[in-house]
Structure 1
């Protein structure tokens, strides 16, 4: 489910929405990283500056999702998307995936505006990424036909690590992380629809899903370690 073995061309064909999100946030980071670029002014018009939102610049509830503060920030968020977003795009299909990603990101930014002071400013896709994990968490708890035991363990392990590291690092938008997760959990039953009587074909191969995975295997531990390194790396970059 979270293993990526596709070529770049195949990845783009299979997961066009994830590919577009990754491309646009990398392009924006590159443009805003040019020394002495006048585009820095545009960056300042797009970040999540609460005082500006209070003055009616409501687009700032959306635009921070595609902005990043540095190389480490954009790199680790991009890796997170490449690893964990494709399966959800395949399950939800394009339109619902877009609704989840942008919806949870905006929800996290609204919460940031409500709970943080007016002078608070933020950027990053972390709220939306936590939103994706909120959907996965709902699957693990209530819609097990979408996710097997092994991948459920991976999701829970990485999610626990991510939440803990959110509180242990400074300069982190804790509100966005938590409310992104909550938003994903709340929107999940709406985008997943009613539970069918019989299991239907999802991202997994039906045969592999019917073979219940009841033991923790080394490869699953590797995914947890990789997720842990991604989270620690992203948060350490933000804390600088």
Structure 2
């Protein structure tokens, strides 16, 4: 479920949305890493800045999902995406998966807007990734019959560790992580309750 055995071409064919997100992460990182006069100006347009969002720059609720502060930030979030997202893309289908991913990421950024101060700046896919964790949590705690053994063995400890580390890691948007997790959980409830009817 979480161990990747596919070739690159097989992975792209089976998980086109996850593959597209990985490419977007890479392209955006390259654009934001260009020399200061180019890269910084692009980052300044797409990063989440609360007071700019409140003045009408609403695209900043979406674009930070694809931007990352540095290489390690990019690699960590992209690795998490490649490891944990494919199973949900298979389960939910391509269209429903990207809707859940973007919706939880946007909700995480909206929560950041309302809870964090006006000068707060944020970037990263973590809110959306925690949204996926929330969907897994819905499966684990509410729809146990859908949960494979591997999910119980790996995801439950990972969920606990991820939430704990959120509060003890520097420069982490705690609001986005927790809001994304909660949003994913309730979206997962809605999806699976609906599929039962």
Shift of 1:195: 5.5
| Equivalence for 1:206 | none
1:36 and 1:43 map into 2 onto residues whose CA distance is 10
2:183 and 2:139 map into 1 onto residues whose CA distance is 14
| Equivalence for 1:154 | 154
| Equivalence for 2:44 | 44
| Equivalence for 1:123 | 123
How many aligned residue pairs are there?
197
2:14 and 2:93 map into 1 onto residues whose CA distance is 11
Shift of 1:30: 1.3
SS in 2 for 1:194: helix
TM-score between the two structures when normalised by the length of structure 1? 0.79
The runs of 4+ residues in structure 1 deviating greater than 6 Å are: none
Residue 73, structure 1, aligned to residue 73, structure 2: yes
TM-score between the two structures when normalised by the length of structure 2? 0.96
| Equivalence for 2:112 | 112
Unaligned runs of 5+ in 1: 198-240
Unaligned runs of 5+ in 2: none
Q: CA RMSD in A?
A: 1.4
Instruction: Verify the 8 A CA contact 2:31 2:42 in the aligned structure 1.
Output: no
Structure with the greater alpha carbon radius of gyration = 1
Which has a greater percent of helix?
2
Shift of 1:37: 4.8
Shift of 1:146: 2.5
Instruction: Verify the 8 A CA contact 2:126 2:176 in the aligned structure 1.
Output: yes
| Equivalence for 1:64 | 64
Instruction: Verify the 8 A CA contact 1:92 1:192 in the aligned structure 2.
Output: no
